[in-house]
């Protein structure tokens, strides 16, 4: 992994779920259950239909919330509060990742399709809470989700970052297409690679990957 590919990077943009903690901690499983329950109650459908809609909206619109807002005019506030009211004790601190993030030169920011209060709880549970210069949630993107181009341009304009001097770390390959088009270095963080033209790098160990950049 050529270190020189990141020599120009001054802003490091990290997704949150399944990126700053490994999927095997299964935090998002709790959220999916909450989402299904919320859809059942809000739309008055049975569990099978609600689970189908949860997955369908995620696949079609980028997030379940985006589909609910688009097709059912759902108020995002109560939804976000409910689905993120979960048990964070399944997460554990990661000192190696904390050291690697802290050593990166320049600004470090979080950009997630979840909301900022939830992101703050995840970061605290992982021992990463003091390391980021800014945290942006879907509310900062005017509730447009990644992978929509408008979501990225809204958040990046708010932050003032220059995409051509930035890198994006994401577990969802869809969410790396726009960053690549904007000129960012793209890193897919996942157990297995998913080769695509818009993905520059893959890692299954974010702490080790970042360590090689600053070591």
Q: Has this prediction a pTM greater than 0.75? A: yes
* CB 185 within 8 Å of CB 201: yes
3-state secondary structure of 1: coil
**185 touches 6 (CB < 8 A):** yes
Residue by residue, pLDDT tens for the chain (215 residues) are: 568 999 999 999 999 999 999 999 999 899 999 999 999 999 999 999 999 999 999 899 989 999 999 999 999 999 999 999 999 999 999 999 999 999 999 999 999 999 999 999 999 999 999 999 999 999 999 999 999 999 999 999 999 999 999 999 999 999 999 999 999 999 999 999 999 999 999 999 999 999 999 87
178 HSE (CA, 13 A, CB side): 15
Instruction: Return the pLDDT at 11.
Output: 98
Residue 62 has a pLDDT of 86
Domain ranges of the chain: 3-21+92-214, 27-83
Q: What's domain 3-21+92-214's architecture?
A: 3-Layer(aba) Sandwich (3.40)
CA 195 to chain centre: 19
Show the tokens assigned to 64. 């379940």
| Topology (CATH level 3) of domain 27-83 | DNA polymerase; domain 1 (1.10.150)
Q: In whole angstroms, what is the distance from residue 169 CA to residue 202 CA?
A: 9
- Burial per residue of 36-57, b for 16 or more beta-carbon CB atoms within 10 angstroms, e otherwise: bbbbbebeeeeeeebbebbeeb
Predicted local confidence at residue 1, as pLDDT: 56
SS (H, E, C) 134-160: EEECHHHHCCCCCCCHHHHHHHHHHHC
How much is the pLDDT for 112? 98
User: CB neighbours of 6 closer than 8 A, spacing ≥ 6?
Assistant: 167, 185, 213
């Amino acid at each position: 992994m050529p270190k020189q590919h990141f020599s120009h990077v001054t802003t490091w943009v990290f997704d949150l779920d399944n990126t700053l903690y490994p999927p095997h901690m299964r935090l998002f499983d709790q959220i999916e259950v909450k989402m299904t329950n919320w859809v059942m109650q809000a739309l008055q459908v049975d569990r099978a239909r609600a689970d189908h809609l949860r997955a369908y909206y995620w696949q079609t619109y980028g997030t379940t919330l985006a589909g609910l807002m688009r097709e059912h005019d759902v108020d995002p506030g109560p939804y976000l509060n409910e689905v993120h009211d979960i048990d964070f004790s399944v997460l554990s601190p990661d000192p190696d990742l904390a050291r690697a993030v802290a050593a990166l030169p320049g600004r470090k920011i979080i950009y997630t399709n979840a909301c900022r209060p939830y992101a703050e709880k995840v970061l605290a549970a992982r021992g990463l809470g003091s390391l980021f210069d800014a945290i942006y949630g879907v509310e900062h993107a005017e509730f447009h989700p990644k992978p929509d181009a408008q979501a990225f341009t809204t958040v990046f304009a708010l932050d003032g970052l220059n995409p051509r001097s930035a890198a994006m770390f994401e577990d969802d390959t869809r969410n790396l297409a726009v960053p690549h088009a904007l000129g960012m270095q793209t890193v897919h963080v996942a157990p297995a690679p998913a080769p695509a033209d818009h993905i520059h790098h893959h890692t299954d160990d974010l702490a080790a990957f970042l360590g090689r950049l600053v070591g």
